């Protein structure tokens, strides 16, 4: 009797398990839910007009959802922000627009300079160090003044005029920074890594002035305020000499010498006036 009851229980358990398996097999499978994740994309912080050069302040982040970014969209990473700084906008972009690779042309891309330059203008590059280049605070699209500083030497030149600074160009547009770095040149751990190449948009005459100035002394860039009114100058500003900056150097010059009488025999004499004395009179 006990054996029959045991067999009956085992048979019931077997039938129950078989039925459970059959029910699971016949039950329709639930569709798998796609994994949705947040994707951070590079976008415009405010409207950008066609032809403008993107600066770091022009970037913002757009949070998209999906399994992959839209075609051509640029991921918001520090490397991409650096790579797209200075890129030229091909057509107007609204605020918050996702940056697509076809919307811009980057420095180093084929045809970049030809696309950026205005008709009749030229591109000229000048080398400045990390200090005279405003310590990396100048960006493509900024307008700058180009300042030349040179040491002067001439007979009887007073110390107050031994160093001079003068404006070579005024209100010119920066169109590229460090083209050689963008194009992949290696500058790890060298003094040359501090040197910066700045490309300016100039007229043909201004390009010649820059070429001459580069052989006279170091060049500095002075950033102009955004949206400042342009007032054309009839003549360049006068140079600034060392004595105008340093009263100590001005004091070394002392009083101007007077005229000197040179006797060449009993009946002939010549009066000589040094150049600085003639200027003071």
Domain coordinates in residue numbering, the chain: 35-106, 126-226+237-253
* pLDDT attached to residue 44: 95
Give the pLDDT confidence score for residue 196 in this predicted structure: 73
Which stretches of the chain are assigned E, i.e. beta strand?
A: 37-44, 59-66, 88-89, 104-105, 122-128, 143-151, 163-177, 196-202, 219-223, 240-241, 260-263, 269-272
pLDDT tens track for 206-224: 999 999 999 999 888 888 8
Closest CA to 117 of 212, 53, 37: 53
Residue 26: what pLDDT?
61
User: Which positions of the chain have pLDDT values less than 50?
Assistant: 180-195, 255-259, 270-273, 275-281
For residue 200, what pLDDT is reported? 94
Task: Report the run of H or E that residue 10 belongs to, with start and end.
Answer: helix 2-26
At 121 the pLDDT is: 93
pLDDT for position 179: 53
pLDDT of res. 276: 46
Pick the CATH number of 35-106 from 3.40.190.150, 3.60.70.12, 3.90.1210.10, 3.40.50.2300: 3.90.1210.10
pLDDT of residue 268: 52
The pLDDT assigned to 233 comes to 55
Give the span between the Cα atoms of 44 and 249, in whole angstroms. Answer: 51
Report the sign of the C-alpha dihedral through residues 114, 118, 123, 126, in that order: negative
**What pLDDT does 252 receive?**
75
pTM assigned to the model:
0.65
Rounded percentage of the chain residues whose pLDDT exceeds 70? 65
Number of H helices, E strands in the chain: 8, 12
E-state strands within 134-256: 143-151, 163-177, 196-202, 219-223, 240-241
């Amino acid at each position: 009797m006990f054996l029959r009851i045991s067999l009956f229980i085992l048979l019931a358990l077997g039938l129950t398990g078989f039925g459970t398996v059959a029910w699971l097999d016949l039950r329709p499978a639930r569709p798998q839910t796609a994994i949705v994740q947040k994707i951070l994309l590079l976008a415009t912080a405010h409207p950008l007009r066609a032809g403008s050069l993107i600066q770091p302040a022009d970037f913002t982040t757009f949070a998209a959802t999906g399994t992959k970014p839209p075609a051509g969209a640029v991921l918001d990473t520090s490397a991409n922000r650096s790579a797209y700084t200075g890129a030229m906008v091909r057509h107007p972009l609204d605020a918050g627009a996702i940056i697509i690779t076809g919307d811009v042309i980057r420095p180093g891309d084929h045809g970049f300079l030809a696309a950026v330059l205005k008709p009749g203008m030229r591109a000229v590059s000048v080398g400045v160090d990390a200090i005279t280049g405003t310590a990396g605070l100048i960006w493509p699209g900024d307008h700058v003044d180009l300042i030349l500083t040179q040491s002067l030497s001439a007979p009887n030149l007073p110390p107050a005029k031994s160093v001079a600074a003068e404006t070579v160009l005024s209100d010119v547009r920066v169109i590229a920074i460090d083209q050689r770095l963008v194009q992949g040149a290696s500058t790890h751990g060298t003094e040359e890594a501090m040197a910066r190449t700045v490309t300016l948009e100039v007229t043909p005459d201004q390009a010649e002035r820059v070429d001459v100035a580069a052989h006279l002394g170091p060049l500095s860039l002075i950033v102009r305020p955004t949206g400042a009114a342009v007032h054309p100058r009839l003549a360049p500003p006068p140079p600034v000499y060392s004595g105008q900056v340093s009263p100590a150097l001005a004091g070394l010059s002392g009083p101007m010498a007077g005229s000197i009488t040179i006797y060449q025999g009993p009946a002939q004499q010549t009066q000589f006036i040094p150049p600085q004395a003639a200027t003071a009179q």
